[in-house]
């Protein structure tokens, strides 16, 4: 596999993404330079695509990913990997708001902290954050796992459906309709299987597993207490 250099600078985003799609089709590994924290880079990349961003990226990087492996050296803006269905995205630093929103599959690995609403409305896949996740992370997650190794902010796991939020470390507060339960040994083994390829297994962790309390699943829409006063 050969490597091609794709320069971002001030070029039009459409042209940059067309170059990425062409390189992916040719089977070339990509090194993306002069990123300048530009938005909408690496959108809808196909399975097998392999690219490395030097520096930081802006909003929606890796959105709609269908199987590419994406590595970002530094930080990422909002909506990283939004709507992705497969693949792997790694961020070397901090990630902004709503990473993994509405994702359906694949894995996002954040080596630093992440902003608010990690995994909002996610439908599948895994998000691993080595640092702290921000306010209202896991909001209305329908499926998948959010795994935070450095704690969580306020209103964690608010209005969960069938997604799970796993936290090692302090949680500032939990959101509406959340149950915190003791995970079984089998469930911990499943999470460790996600962490193992990332070199993050630590058997000494004291996990908090957050799941839906299921009251919002069946509330009467005319009864405001069901969704405002839980």
Residue 221 above 80 pLDDT? Answer: no
Asked if CATH classification 2.160.20.60 holds for the domain at 3-228, the reply, yes or no, is yes
Both tokens of 171, joined, read 């949680």
Distances (CA, A) of 165 to 73, 141, 145: 26, 9, 6
Phi, psi at 138, each rounded to 5°: 85, 10
pLDDT band, very low/low/confident/very high, at 227 (cuts 50, 70, 90):
low
Residue-averaged pLDDT of the chain: 95
Percent of the chain with pLDDT over 90: 93
pLDDT digits (tens, 9 = 90+) for 122-144: 999 999 999 999 999 999 999 99
pLDDT band, very low/low/confident/very high, at 224 (cuts 50, 70, 90):
low
**Considering the entire predicted model, what is its pTM?**
0.95
pLDDT band, very low/low/confident/very high, at 216 (cuts 50, 70, 90):
confident
Tally Cβ neighbours within 10 Å of residue 170.
Answer: 11
pLDDT digits (tens, 9 = 90+) for 187-212: 999 999 999 999 999 999 999 999 99
Residue 213 above 70 pLDDT? Answer: yes
Residue 59 above 60 pLDDT? Answer: yes
Residue linked to tokens 């959340």: 178
Q: Are β-strands 178-181 and 207-212 bridged in parallel, bridged antiparallel, or unpaired?
A: antiparallel
Asked whether 199 and 181 are in contact (CB, 8 A), the reply is no
Would you call 36 helix, strand, or coil by DSSP?
coil
Structural domain spans, the chain: 3-228
- Residue 218: per-residue pLDDT: 74
pLDDT digits (tens, 9 = 90+) for 158-192: 999 999 999 999 999 999 999 999 999 999 999 99
Q: Which residues, 6+ apart, have CB-to-CB distance to 57 below 8 Å?
A: 35, 37, 38, 39, 41, 42, 72, 75, 76, 77, 80
Distances (CA, A) of 199 to 12, 187, 202: 38, 18, 9
- Residue 74: per-residue pLDDT: 98
């Amino acid at each position: 596999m050969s490597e091609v250099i794709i320069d971002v600078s001030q070029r039009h985003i459409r042209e940059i993404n067309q170059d990425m799609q062409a390189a992916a089709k040719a089977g070339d590994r990509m090194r993306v330079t002069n990123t300048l924290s530009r938005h909408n880079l690496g959108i809808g990349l196909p399975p097998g695509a392999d690219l490395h961003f030097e520096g930081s990226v802006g909003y929606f990087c890796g959105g709609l990913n269908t199987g590419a492996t994406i590595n970002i050296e530094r930080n990422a803006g909002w909506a990283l990997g939004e709507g992705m269905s497969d693949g792997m995205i790694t961020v070397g630093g901090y990630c902004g708001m709503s990473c993994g929103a509405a994702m359906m599959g694949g894995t996002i690995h954040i080596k630093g902290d992440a902003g608010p609403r990690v995994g909002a409305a996610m439908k599948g896949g895994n998000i691993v954050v080595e640092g702290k996740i921000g306010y209202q992370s896991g909001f209305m997650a329908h499926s998948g796992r959010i795994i935070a190794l450095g704690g969580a902010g306020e209103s964690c796991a608010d209005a969960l459906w069938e997604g799970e939020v796993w936290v090692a470390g302090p949680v500032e507060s939990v959101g509406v309709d959340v149950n915190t339960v003791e995970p079984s040994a089998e469930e911990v083994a499943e999470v460790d299987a996600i962490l193992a390829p990332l070199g993050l297994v630590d058997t000494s962790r004291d996990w908090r597993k957050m799941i839906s309390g299921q009251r919002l699943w069946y509330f009467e829409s005319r009864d405001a207490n069901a969704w405002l006063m839980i």
